[in-house]
Structures are given as C-alpha cells and as structure tokens.
Amino acid sequence: MTTTIPDSVDVVVSGAGAAGLAAARALGATGRTVLVLDRQRTPTPVAKGEILQPESVRILDEWGVLEALRATGARPVERLAIRDPHGEPLLSIDYGQLPGPYRQVLCAEYADLRNVLAGGMPGTVEILRGVRVTGALRDGAGRVSGVHTVGDGAGAGGTEIRAGLVVAADGMSSPLRKAAGVGVDRQEYPHRLLALDVEGVDVAAELAAYRTARGLCLVYPLPGNRCRLYVQVRPDEFRASGMADLNPWCDALLADVPAIAPLGSAVRASLRRRQLFAVYRLRADRLSAPGLALVGESAHAVHPMAAQGVNSSLRDAETLAGAVTSESTVDNSLEAYEADRRPRLDHIATVSHNAARMITALSGAPKLLGARMMRRTAANPRLLRQTAGNLSGTDVRPLTLVDRLYQLGLLVDRHANTPPVTATDRSEAR
Ligand SMILES: Cc1cc2nc3c(=O)[nH]c(=O)nc-3n(C[C@H](O)[C@H](O)[C@H](O)COP(=O)(O)OP(=O)(O)OC[C@H]3O[C@@H](n4cnc5c(N)ncnc54)[C@H](O)[C@@H]3O)c2cc1C
C-alpha cells in the first residue's frame, strides 16, 4: 500500500509515542495542521510508562481524555511505599496529602495511554504509521525546515515534507536529534531491569519499592487483575539463561524478597514473557534549535524508579504548545520553551537520580548514605510532603542544600513538623 504524504504542514512530529502524540494533540488544539509520522506500522507492546503521576492526570483531564484512560481499567494508587524485603515500611510518600484536586497516581498500560492520546485528535492532526524520518531539511540559513522520510509500503520512496516547526519525539536514539546536530550526555546505570507482567493477582493499591540485597524490586497494580514487577538484575544475569535456569532464579528472587512470596506461582508463570531493559539517564545539550523542538526521551531520560518520564513528556508538549501560541515567531517561541523547561527537567533529573541511588546502590558509601537519607526523610513530615510534591509534579519545590544536610543527619530540622506552605496556600495568600 502506498501512503499519501502531504508535502507541507505547519508542524511535523517524528514519533508517535506518548511525547509525540501529546505534542500533536496540544499543537493541533491551537488550529495548526500537524502530521505525526512513526516508523512502526504497529506499535510494539513495551513494559514502560505505566505509572502516571498526578501532574499527568491533571494534563490528561484538561485534554479531556482522563475518563477514557480510566475506562481502560487504569488503577489508582495514593502511596509510594519503600519497604524492606519482608514488607516492613521504611518510608511512605502519601499522595493523598497533596494540595489541589490531583492526589492520585494512575497505573495504566502504555499502549492504552497512546490510544487515548491518539483518539479524538483535533481534525487538523493526521497520524501516519510505517513512515520513517531519515533526516532534517534545512533552509538557506541552516534553520530546520522539514524532514526527509521513507515509507515501508510497496513502492514507497523518499519524500520531503516542509514544516514551520519540526518536533523530534523519536525516542532516546532520536535520529532527528542527531540529524539536527544536537548532542547528548547519555549514561548507563550499572544494572538492568527485568519486567514481569504478573497475571491473576490482586496486589495492594500502592507503588511498593522493596529495597533488597539485589537492589530494587518494584510492584504495582495494573488493569485486569495484574501487577507489574520490575526486578533489578546484573547486566550478565540473563545473558546465558535458557528456560531451564529460570526456576532456580525465581527461587532465589523469592528468598531475597519474602514479601512477594504470595505472588510466587504467578511470578514463575510470567517469566516466559519477560522483558529486559538497559537503564539510562540522558540529557540533550539543547531542547530546541531554530525550527526544531525536542520532546520526551529524545531530550531527556531518567531512571524509571521515580516514574517521571511520561510526566515530563506530557508537560513538554503542554509547554511547547503554550509557547508557540504567543505572538512571537516560532524560533522565539522555541527559546521560551527551552527557558521554561530546562530548569524543571534538570530538577526532575536530580530527583530521579537521587531516588534511584537510594534504592539501587548495592554496596559502599552510596548504599550507606541512601539508607541514612531514607531514615532521616521518613522521620521528617515536612520533607516527606515536599518529596510527594516534587514527585507528583503538581507542587514542585526543589530541596535546598540545607534540606540535604537534614537528610544526611548533619543538621537538625526544627521545622520538621511544620506543614510547608503549598502552591495553593501561596496563591490564596496573594
Ligand atoms: C523500563 C521502563 C519503565 C518506565 N516506566 C515509567 C513509568 O512508570 N512512568 C513514567 O512516567 N515513565 C516511565 N518510563 C519512561 C517512559 O516510558 C518514557 O519517558 C516515555 O515512553 C517516552 O516517550 P517518547 O514518546 O519520548 O518515546 P517512545 O515511547 O520511545 O516513542 C518514540 C517513538 O518514535 C518512533 N520513532 C523512532 N525513530 C523514528 C523515526 N526515525 N521516524 C519515525 N518514528 C520514529 C518509535 O517507533 C516510537 O513509537 C519508563 C522507561 C523504561 C525504560
């Protein structure tokens, strides 16, 4: 089948993951013609992007798609609990205490999120699958002015599409980012995450992060009496494993984390559908260049432990659309987008990296410091509320250097039991 591709639109988006679809939705709502291209004809089911923070819930609600997502069976949770391997609580972050109306995390399928974002798009948005973006077009001044594409259908040749704004939403490896010459700093964590889709179980309505001798073990509910189990593994742990080795591996896991023993037979059954992920953090040198915006993992990736990726991607889209509706030129708007998002994304990168280190460090000073910071934070209601706000995205107030000293036990926080002033309090006081 040959795909008909327009040769000119207002906006072309490369990639139809959460970030690309969100950007298309938000920019389409401003009346612009938007063309979304994805190299995959059928999206691959991937065990990622399932925990949606309250900020994502707010955005989805404002875009009118929250009820559609709830209808997929998305599971609400109100607490992130860090527990020891036996299930004893070490630290509990209560989203129910957040100010404002969005006080829940939703656990949903990534495919369902993509579907509800793609469903009921503004009429000016078109999504074409099976079309790969292979490069950036530039005008005489070097400004990005469109894309080169190749379709996968019979007879599909190379095509050029011109656009006033090009959006790179093509994931961590982002061919478009490379073509535009934007560099990245990308670092791999020294472990992998094994993702298991555990069926026929009813787990507590919480994000349960077990801090174990093998590192992180994360459990949360999913639609349809299922739960997600991520297990931290060594990079070589599964390389040589055939099916025959999996039962002893599972025995060892259940012995390491007795709290998940009740899920034992369901975990064993889920092993043949396992997915293994290398885990990275990535920061693009820039979020924009003349004619080009980067959104989602083409611009930033963080450890999944703090579940910030989708939040950031939806917020990128919302901010970008807000910036380009102003009276200024596209390139001035792109500078405004960069100035707004960069500090926030850097903050999220720090929060995510610190949260990941607290749980995934296996030895030495990082492990000891992680344990100490967790104990001090757990005993400090002010820091707990602030951490809930920072993770949720709805009440962000970065920790100060002094807060870090409280966490390390180097200073005593006399205001630990004083409720902090919230964003809502601040606006009510004005
Ligand atoms: C194991 C794991 C668990 C995670 N869990 C969470 C979580 O619970 N909560 C959370 O908020 N975040 C989580 N994240 C992060 C989250 O999944 C990502 O932030 C999010 O998926 C990024 O979306 P994206 O649209 O930028 O990228 P993607 O979802 O990767 O989409 C990129 C799209 O671009 C397309 N594409 C690529 N190249 C081209 C090309 N040349 N031309 C056209 N199309 C192209 C691809 O086919 C793909 O559809 C997790 C990540 C991992 C790895």
Look at residue 263 in the predicted model and tell me its pLDDT. 96
How many residues are recorded in the chain?
430
Query: Per-residue pLDDT for 230 more than 60?
Result: yes
Look at residue 4 in the predicted model and tell me its pLDDT. 74
Look at residue 428 in the predicted model and tell me its pLDDT. 58
Look at residue 154 in the predicted model and tell me its pLDDT. 54
User: How many Å apart are CA 7 and CA 2, to the nearest integer?
Assistant: 15
Ligand 1 pocket list (CB less than 6 A): 14-20, 37-40, 43, 48-51, 132-133, 169-171, 175, 193, 195, 277, 296-297, 304, 307-311, 313
Residue bearing the bigger pLDDT, 361 or 3: 361
Query: Per-residue pLDDT for 32 more than 70?
Result: yes
Atom 33, ligand 1: residue with shortest CA distance: 15
Query: Could you tell which of 36, 48, 283 is best to mutate to test the pocket of ligand 1, judged by most ligand atoms within 8 Å of the CB?
Result: 48
Atom of ligand 1 nearest to the CA of 176: 41
Query: Could you tell which of 297, 320, 360, 392 is best to mutate to test the pocket of ligand 1, judged by most ligand atoms within 8 Å of the CB?
Result: 297
pTM score, two decimals? Answer: 0.93
Please enumerate in sequence order all residues whose Cβ is within 8 A of that of 268, keeping only pairs 6 or more positions apart, or say none: 246, 247, 250
Atom of ligand 1 nearest to the CA of 193: 1
The three-state secondary structure class of 167 is: strand
- The least confident of 38-52, 120-134, 253-267, 408-422 is 408-422
Atom 19, ligand 1: residue with shortest CA distance: 309
The three-state secondary structure class of 284 is: strand
Look at residue 370 in the predicted model and tell me its pLDDT. 84
Q: Tokens 């700093």 appear where?
A: 185
Q: Specify whether the backbone of 338 is left (phi greater than 0), alpha (psi in -120 to 50) or beta.
A: alpha
Interval between CA 310 and ligand 1 midpoint (Å): 8
Residues 274, 243: contact at Cβ < 8 Å? Answer: no
213-227 burial: b if 16+ Cβ within 10 Å, else e: ebbbbbbbbbeeebb
Atom of ligand 1 nearest to the CA of 40: 47
User: How many Å apart are CA 197 and CA 155, to the nearest integer?
Assistant: 39
Query: Per-residue pLDDT for 149 more than 70?
Result: yes
What structural domains does the chain harbor? 8-47+111-185+282-347 (3.50.50.60), 82-101+187-279 (3.30.9.30), 361-429 (no CATH)
User: Residue 60 — very low, low, confident or very high, per pLDDT cuts 50/70/90?
Assistant: very high
Residue 139 tokens, joined: 């005008």
Q: Give residue-wise pLDDT tens across range 74-121.
A: 999 999 999 999 999 999 999 998 989 999 999 999 999 999 999 989
Interval between CA 171 and ligand 1 midpoint (Å): 5
Query: Per-residue pLDDT for 424 more than 80?
Result: no
* CA 424 vs CA 267, 285, 389, 394: distances in Å: 43, 34, 12, 10
Query: Per-residue pLDDT for 151 more than 80?
Result: yes
Interval between CA 15 and ligand 1 midpoint (Å): 9
